[in-house]
Amino acid sequence: MMASIKLVYSCAPDDYRLLEKLSSHLHPLVSKGWLSEWHEQLIPAGTDRALERRQAWSSADILLLLLSADYFKSEDYNSPEMLQAFQRQQLGQLLIVPVLVRPCAWETTEVAHLQCLPRNKKPVILWENQDAALLTVAQELQQFLPARRSPGASHLSSLEHTNRARLLKHVRTLWIEGLLAQSLQNAVWVDLHLQKQTDALENPWRLVVQELEHKPRPLPAGTSIVQVFDEADEELLILGEPGSGKTTLLLYLARTLLDRAESNEGRRMPVIFHLSSWAQQRCPLDQWLVEELKTKYQVPQQLGRVWIETDKIFPLLDGLDEVEETARNACVEAIIAYMHRATVQTPLVVCCRNDEYQALTVQLPLQYAVMLLPLTNEQIDTYLSSISGQIEILRQAFNEDRDLLELARRPLLLSIFTLAYQGATSIDLPATHQEYPQALFRYYVKHMLSRRARLHRGTAAQMQGWLTYLARQLHNQQQTILAIEDLQPAWLSAWARRWYRWGMAITYGLVFGLVFGPIFGATFGCAYWLIHRSVANPLFGLIFGLTVGCIGGLVGGLAFGIIFKQQRIVPAEVASWSGAAAWKGLKLGLAGGLIVGAAGGLAGGIVVGLPGGITLGLAAALLVGLVGGAIGGLSPKQLPERLSLAPNEGIWRSGRRGFLLAGSCVALFGIAGGLIFGLYGASIATLAYAPLFGIVLGASGGLIFGLAFGLVGGRTGIAAFLQHFVLRFFLCYSGLLPWNLSAFLDEATERLLLRKVGGNYIFVHRLLRDVLASTREASTRAEKREK
């Protein structure tokens, strides 16, 4: 059984009447043992009052301050215990919650940065119904309490627990272990100073109630983002300049929320979403969240929808500034609509660059906003003193160039400075300070590519060109994370895409003709020998089958490549089966079977006579129809455990799975072919060998047509496998990317230009991506190659 939360009240003597009324509204929690209360009216007569208060306050979990003008003059507020309470609050050991009971200038005091109740900041005694006001305070206070389960509450089912644990593991693997632990800013992380930014939020009372002037106010040194989040009632906006540490701060918060969710199944699951892709569809935010859960975290769509509708997900929304500018206001309106859904009030956290947020015409109605303040001279000096190696040139540069020093006040850029110029004897600076960031990142890339004597994956110029191309494509596609299996033909130029399409047609033809033509010829020759028992006959059968298989395969493959224009590569690592899709595939298979049956009947008529040819044709039509139905019912679905896999494992898994299914076609339809020919084998010259003939011919036919349907529909994974490597060939031929892409990305990660996140990659910061994307090196080389 969980221990009760200890709540300590502190108020002026004149406010005890309100304290007792508030206590009565909290009594249900006390009676259930979830909450225990203490205030000075409970001190027994003859007891040391100061000692009792000191012991109660030191063991409190929540300190409730009933604010009034008299309270700020009271013994409680000016006592040593209050100073210790503020210290415990900064350490995360105590939650201080102010309750505004009477009008007073509380926003000019030490508690101004704390979330106040009632949330509308209207003093309790000014409400028309004071009981209603105190009930509202009691209800809002319950949101600060850890989620608890009543004795009779049911636990999660085994499946629900598995799904929940898997998502939490994915989030931790991707963002905490993969990104925060390897963060470049970890090397320079200091306690960032925060500033309350009240004017950044929408306040519906602004036109009704005369407010005090809400100027930005620095929070006490040492205030953590978790403390701010708890005090903000889980509604928080994080603002900052580029490279100031917004995302890193969000990841620190996510780590704490993951710990809480893992230890308490009643808490919502924190999930980080990157808003940059919202503008592609501009749909309601709940729909977009479901799609992001599916594509980024491999959560089945139906499960994701249930989680969103029942408020099981806590969205941590990063990158509002990366939403296309023309869609940014609409994105904020979508967030607001999501927060105010009819079914539930949904708190969330949003991160954005300050300039982009200030340019919005719509503000978020969140409870709290903080701005990350620039590093102070003392923080910069402390950090430089902690760095081992020669950095005197940096100190000298900062002392001589104030613009350079201002740039170093961002944690990211200070990290870049120390990594790029450690041990340097001079610093070449551009003519104007506006060019400093671009010059710094270009020097950083050059320095990191020349840190060791020899690059293993090309020259420094080649690696910089490849990185530039990746940065430009991610920037154009509004993507942050690179997965090798997500490479798409859209990354090619229009010229290269035309050749890619013909390359796919030729690949299909080669697969059908040159690979399965010999198989078809060998099985046909074997079957012919079984029937006629002649040395010459198998040679005739082999030549005939090989010719028919190669010609048919090449023609069919070219036709498939020309007719079917699927431009998006979708890995099929795991398959689900749909009856409706199977019926559609069966109809397509039967239609194709008529064509194949006609060709098979003609070939069979030449070999075994007209009656046998007719039987062969009908059997082929039936087999192709069954193949179409079985494979048509498959639909691709990405593997839930993908984040723990190696780079490009999705494509390799798709290929292995596709060829495995093709082999299943051999067994299944070979047996079916044997049975068909066994039943109708009287029309073939030797009835005894008809089943064997059917098995070998059915097996090869099943293999060929099974792969045909799999390639066309992308159902088995073979299509994605072939498309991916044909695309990689054109990217390599054009000089845009190396063939061994994962080795190149790993080396860029070792040189601190990328970070490896599971099986995916991400630039160390968006600023580096944007600086590289602004260059034209990669596109210029590609254009020269194409000419």
pLDDT 10s digits, 624-670: 555 555 555 555 444 344 444 567 677 777 777 666 666 665 555 55
Distance (Å, rounded) from C-alpha 456 to C-alpha 448? 14
Report the pLDDT averaged over residues 451-478.
80
Backbone angles phi, psi at 370, to 5 degrees: -125, 145
Looking at mean pLDDT, say which of 213-222, 250-259, 537-546 comes out highest: 250-259
- Percent of the chain topping pLDDT 90: 16
Residue 377, both tokens: 């001279």
Distance (Å, rounded) from C-alpha 739 to C-alpha 732? 6
CB atoms within 10 A of CB 715: 25
Residue of 96, 94, 95 whose CA lies nearest to 111: 96
Q: According to the model, what pLDDT value does residue 614 have? A: 54
Residue 482 has pLDDT above 80, yes or no: yes
Cis peptide before 151 (omega within 30 of 0): no
Distance (Å, rounded) from C-alpha 473 to C-alpha 481? 11
Distance (Å, rounded) from C-alpha 276 to C-alpha 320? 7
Per the DSSP assignment, residues forming a β-bridge with 350 are: 237, 317
More confident: 315 or 514: 315
List pLDDT tens digits, range 571-611: 765 555 455 555 555 565 556 555 555 555 555 555 555 55
| pLDDT band at residue 672 under the 50/70/90 scheme | low
Q: Is 343 exposed, middle or buried (0-12, 13-18, 19+ CB in 10 A)?
A: exposed
Place of tokens 């598995």: 162
Q: According to the model, what pLDDT value does residue 484 have? A: 85
| pLDDT band at residue 422 under the 50/70/90 scheme | confident
Place of tokens 């869609």: 327
Distance (Å, rounded) from C-alpha 171 to C-alpha 9? 38
Residues 256, 226: contact at Cβ < 8 Å? Answer: yes
Residue 381 has pLDDT above 70, yes or no: yes
CB atoms within 10 A of CB 300: 15
544-573 burial, b at 16+ Cβ within 10 Å, e below that, comes to: bbbebbbebbbebbbebbeeeeeeebbbbb
Q: For the packed helices 718-733 and 690-713, what is the interaxial angle rounded to 10 degrees?
A: 50
Q: According to the model, what pLDDT value does residue 302 have? A: 84
Residues 648, 485: contact at Cβ < 8 Å? Answer: yes
Residue 685 has pLDDT above 80, yes or no: no
Q: According to the model, what pLDDT value does residue 22 have? A: 92
Q: According to the model, what pLDDT value does residue 152 have? A: 38
Any idea which of 390-404, 585-599, 700-714, 729-743 has the lowest mean pLDDT?
A: 700-714
Strand-strand pairing, 236-240 and 349-353: parallel
Distance (Å, rounded) from C-alpha 312 to C-alpha 434? 45
Distance (Å, rounded) from C-alpha 689 to C-alpha 301? 51
Residues 233, 347: contact at Cβ < 8 Å? Answer: yes
SS3 316: strand
More confident: 629 or 18: 18
Any idea which of 284-288, 696-700, 752-756 has the lowest mean pLDDT?
A: 696-700
Residue of 84, 119, 6, 113 whose CA lies nearest to 76: 84
Residue 561 has pLDDT above 60, yes or no: no
Distance (Å, rounded) from C-alpha 288 to C-alpha 23? 43
Q: According to the model, what pLDDT value does residue 567 have? A: 64
Distance (Å, rounded) from C-alpha 703 to C-alpha 169? 39
Cis peptide before 118 (omega within 30 of 0): yes
DSSP symbol at 260: H
Residue of 113, 111, 131, 133 whose CA lies nearest to 122: 133
Report the pLDDT averaged over residues 16-36.
86
Q: Average per-residue pLDDT in the chain?
A: 75
Residue of 522, 480, 434, 500 whose CA lies nearest to 723: 500
Any idea which of 177-186, 430-439, 541-550, 634-643 has the lowest mean pLDDT?
A: 634-643
| pLDDT band at residue 159 under the 50/70/90 scheme | confident
Q: How many helices (H) and strands (E) does the chain have?
A: 28, 16
Residue 168 has pLDDT above 90, yes or no: yes
Residues 97, 114: contact at Cβ < 8 Å? Answer: yes
pTM for the model? 0.61
Q: What is the DSSP string of 420-444?
A: HHTT-S-----SSGGGHHHHHHHHH
Backbone angles phi, psi at 98, to 5 degrees: -80, 140
| pLDDT band at residue 364 under the 50/70/90 scheme | very high
Residue 204, both tokens: 């519906």
| pLDDT band at residue 272 under the 50/70/90 scheme | very high
Distance (Å, rounded) from C-alpha 374 to C-alpha 240? 9
Q: According to the model, what pLDDT value does residue 695 have? A: 45
Residue 202 has pLDDT above 80, yes or no: no
Distance (Å, rounded) from C-alpha 650 to C-alpha 108? 57
Report the pLDDT averaged over residues 537-557.
59
Residue of 561, 684, 701, 546 whose CA lies nearest to 622: 701
Q: Is 208 exposed, middle or buried (0-12, 13-18, 19+ CB in 10 A)?
A: exposed
318, containing H or E segment:
strand 313-318
